[in-house]
């Protein structure tokens, strides 16, 4: 293997994107994941390289993805972890995003901070203040809305930024993206969808809802939009509106709050009940809860709800509780079949069936979470300082491994 890798390395250093991609795949086969990613950074704009890197697991938004599922299909940290690195950051609010090329947070001025996911080393970025709900991290490009409402793209490796605004477009008070698909909330009473060009700027408009006029209700900004592979969900002050992603046609309307969604459907809360719909608009179930439990994460076969400092795992089909008693702690996110929970001064991992895998003491309160393949990141606030520590955790013996 070493001879093969040395041969691939020599070819890559003398060649271009194709040779570097072959070298990276060799490194991946050898379990040297971080080195494989690093080998591709210089040629990351090549279409084949970008496709390869974009296929890697990433925590692209505050709630993992554009649907708000707080779920990542990747290898979980299932054994008691070790701390790979710790970086102190003057983090303002709970926010972590992660891709194979960067971990992103915001500082105490609301400005963006980026770290190398392999080492925690800080990146030099220009001082941009951002509107947190609109953040989306691609491979190396962070798209965000600044405090003046302008949409910008920032390369979190080089620090270069560019304005994505198009003065010919109607002004949007919120713009949400799912890779090359953009949803814009116009003047709080209309929704527009566009294709994004390769450099991030807005392309042609796909549709507008309503096609003419405006909505009677005011749209909720920021977290009021969820984007799935087939649907766009927007929230008004009073209801949910589900649109076809391809055409913008109305699929159905409903009521509810604290909605999480994924490719299979949505789960929300309504008057102390948790309910589930599929994307045709069929109500699958509605279950009353003893406390004001709200949906926090979706996995293909499970729903995580939380309230009163405890979490409950529900069957995705039918809404029945997996266990009679709730699990102590607040769910941070789900990676494949493992849920990570926070409680005072502890971080805990359990299977979605309830089995405790490990529990780790933490010197402070956990305020944010993100995950990549085989590693997780948490932002921890210490009680005596305004600064937070960002920790990278992984299983023993998997440092940079595959």
pLDDT band at 386 (very low <50, low <70, confident <90, very high): low
pLDDT of residue 288: 86
**What value, to the nearest 5°, has the Cα angle with vertex 171 and ends 165 and 173?**
105
Tokens 């080195």 correspond to: 35
CA distance 118 to 125: 18
**CATH 1.20.1280.50 is held by the domain 56-394:** no
Across 42-56, 126-140, 343-357, the highest mean pLDDT is recorded for: 343-357
pLDDT band at 402 (very low <50, low <70, confident <90, very high): very low
**What is the torsion angle, in degrees rounded to the nearest 10, for the CA atoms of residue 394, residue 397, residue 398 and residue 401?**
160
Tens digits of per-residue pLDDT, 32-80? 877 888 888 888 778 888 788 877 889 999 999 999 999 999 999 999 9
pLDDT band at 207 (very low <50, low <70, confident <90, very high): very high
Helix (H), strand (E), coil (C) string for 82-125: EEEEEEEECECCCCCEEECCEEEEEECCCEEEEECCCCCCEECC
SS3 content of the chain, % helix, strand, coil (to 5): 15, 45, 40
**What value, to the nearest 5°, has the Cα angle with vertex 373 and ends 160 and 152?**
20
The stretch 162-191 carries a mean pLDDT of 77
Tens digits of per-residue pLDDT, 224-269? 889 999 999 998 877 899 999 999 999 999 988 889 999 999 999 9
**What is the torsion angle, in degrees rounded to the nearest 10, for the CA atoms of residue 24, residue 28, residue 34 and residue 37?**
30
CB 120 within 8 Å of CB 388 = no
Length of the chain, please?
402
The stretch 376-395 carries a mean pLDDT of 85
pTM > 0.85: yes
The stretch 16-42 carries a mean pLDDT of 84
Closest to 70 in 3D by CA, of 208, 364, 211, 267: 267
Mean pLDDT of the chain: 86
In sign, the C-alpha dihedral spanning 43, 44, 45, 51 is positive
Closest to 267 in 3D by CA, of 315, 333, 311: 315
Does position 1 have pLDDT exceeding 90, yes or no?
no
Does position 341 have pLDDT exceeding 70, yes or no?
yes
Does position 173 have pLDDT exceeding 80, yes or no?
no
Does position 394 have pLDDT exceeding 90, yes or no?
yes
pLDDT of residue 109: 73
CA distance 401 to 116: 16
């Amino acid at each position: 293997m070493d001879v093969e890798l040395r041969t691939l390395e020599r070819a890559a250093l003398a060649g271009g994107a194709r040779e570097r991609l072959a070298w990276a795949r060799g490194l991946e086969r050898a379990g040297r994941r971080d080195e494989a990613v690093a080998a591709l950074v210089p040629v990351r704009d090549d279409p084949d390289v970008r496709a390869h890197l974009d296929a890697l697991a990433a925590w692209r938004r505050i709630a993992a993805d554009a649907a708000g599922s707080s779920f990542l299909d990747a290898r979980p940290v299932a054994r008691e972890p070790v701390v790979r690195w710790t970086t102190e950051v003057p983090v303002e609010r709970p926010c972590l995003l992660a891709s194979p090329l960067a971990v992103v947070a915001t500082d105490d001025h609301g400005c963006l901070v980026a770290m190398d996911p392999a080492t925690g080393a800080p990146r030099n970025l220009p001082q941009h203040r951002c509107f947190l709900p609109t953040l989306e991290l691609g491979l190396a490009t962070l798209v965000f809305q600044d405090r003046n409402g302008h949409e910008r793209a920032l390369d979190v490796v080089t620090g270069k930024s560019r304005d994505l605004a198009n003065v010919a477009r109607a002004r949007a008070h919120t713009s949400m993206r799912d890779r090359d698909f953009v949803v814009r909330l116009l003047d709080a009473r209309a929704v527009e969808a566009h294709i994004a060009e390769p450099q991030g700027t807005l392309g042609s408009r796909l549709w507008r809802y309503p096609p003419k006029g405006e909505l009677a209700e005011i749209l909720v900004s920021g977290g009021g939009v969820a984007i799935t592979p087939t649907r766009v969900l927007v929230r008004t002050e009073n209801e949910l509106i589900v649109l076809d992603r391809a055409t913008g046609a109305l699929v159905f309307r409903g009521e509810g709050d604290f909605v999480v969604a994924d490719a299979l459907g949505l789960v929300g809360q309504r008057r102390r009940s948790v309910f589930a719909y599929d994307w045709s608009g069929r109500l699958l179930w509605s279950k009353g809860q003893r406390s004001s439990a709200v949906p926090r994460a979706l996995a293909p076969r499970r729903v995580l709800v939380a309230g009163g400092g405890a979490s409950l795992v529900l069957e995705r089909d039918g809404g029945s509780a997996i266990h009679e008693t709730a699990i102590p702690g607040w769910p941070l996110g789900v990676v494949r079949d493992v849920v990570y929970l926070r409680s005072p001064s502890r971080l805990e991992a359990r299977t979605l069936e309830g089995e405790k895998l490990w529990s780790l003491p933490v010197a402070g309160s956990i305020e944010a979470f993100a995950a990549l393949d085989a590693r997780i990141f948490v932002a921890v606030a210490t009680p005596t300082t305004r600064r937070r520590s960002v920790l990278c955790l992984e299983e023993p013996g998997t440092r940079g491994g595959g």
